[in-house]
């Protein structure tokens, strides 16, 4: 499974990338707005910091403007994946961009039928929002299972399942068990994946025992 970090904070992205935890980045207008910086400056910094795909979202909702915005975003860096909403105009934009060789992330997916349409439109990634489904009483992971089953039925579907709206480490575990291709994870959740109280307790005991020996590994 690949991990994308869901952030526009360049310091966070660089830190996680240095640890080998980042295969790509997803952004959205809300995340970029939090930085207080210019949109294209933020994207340029992120694209330079990671080798993998960087999802950059269009702001328009009509086909003509979405297409123009998508082309400008794609021209910024080779690893840009243009993010478009799962609407009819968004799917049309996806198809046009994909046919020209641009990777497209179709976002705000909440049903298996929507995921089928995105795959047929040539999306590189489909982003089902599992946390938001959980919020309204639906089972977000059931959607991931449905999409995985459907995509596996058709060799012509090459779209990767990019699980989005992840709220906690258990979401990551469940997505991996189902066989999702990517999880896009907020920095705090990504760091929590490494934590376990028994690891901390065990390390504390090892260090205490080592200290009693009075030895050192360095400068022996």
Question: What confidence tens digit (pLDDT) does each residue in 174-214 have?
Answer: 999 999 999 999 999 999 999 999 999 999 999 999 999 99
* Contact indicator for 159, 151 with CB cutoff of 8 Å: yes
Q: Which residue has the tokens 């009693």?
A: 212
Q: Is residue 25 part of a domain?
A: yes
Catalytic member of 2, 34, 83, 212: 83
Q: Is residue 215 part of a domain?
A: no
pLDDT at position 209? 94
d(CA 136, CA 111): 14
pLDDT at position 79? 97
Q: Is residue 217 part of a domain?
A: no
Residues of the chain with pLDDT under 70: none
pLDDT at position 29? 87
Q: Is residue 149 part of a domain?
A: yes
Check which CATH number belongs to the domain holding 137 and give it. 3.20.20.70
Q: Is residue 202 part of a domain?
A: no
pLDDT at position 115? 98
83 labelled catalytic: yes
Q: Which domain holds residue 78?
A: 2-195
pLDDT at position 21? 87
Q: Is residue 170 part of a domain?
A: yes
Q: Is residue 208 part of a domain?
A: no
Q: Which residue has the tokens 């210019």?
A: 38
Q: Is residue 113 part of a domain?
A: yes
Count of domains in the chain? 1
Q: Which residue, 109, 115, 112, 128, is CA-closest to 174?
A: 128
């Amino acid at each position: 499974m690949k991990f994308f970090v869901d952030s526009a904070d360049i310091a966070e992205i660089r830190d996680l990338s240095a640890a080998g935890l980042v295969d790509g980045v997803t952004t959205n207008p809300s995340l970029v707005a939090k930085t207080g910086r210019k949109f294209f400056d933020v994207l340029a910094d992120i694209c330079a910091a990671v080798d993998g795909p960087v999802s950059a979202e269009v702001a328009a909702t009509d086909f003509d403007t979405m297409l123009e915005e998508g082309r400008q975003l794609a021209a910024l860096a080779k690893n840009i994946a243009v993010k478009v909403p799962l609407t009819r105009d968004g799917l049309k934009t996806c198809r046009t961009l994909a046919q020209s060789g641009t990777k497209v992330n179709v976002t705000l997916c909440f049903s298996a039928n929507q995921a089928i349409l995105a795959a047929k439109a040539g999306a590189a990634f489909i982003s089902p929002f599992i946390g938001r489904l959980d919020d309204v009483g639906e089972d977000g992971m059931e959607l991931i299972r449905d999409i995985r089953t459907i995509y596996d039925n058709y060799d012509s579907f090459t779209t990767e399942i990019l699980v989005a709206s992840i709220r906690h480490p258990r979401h990551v575990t469940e997505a991996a068990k189902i066989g999702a291709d990517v999880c896009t994870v907020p920095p705090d959740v990504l760091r929590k994946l490494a934590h376990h109280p028994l690891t901390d307790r065990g390390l504390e005991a090892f260090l205490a025992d080592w200290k009693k020996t009075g030895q050192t590994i360095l400068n022996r």
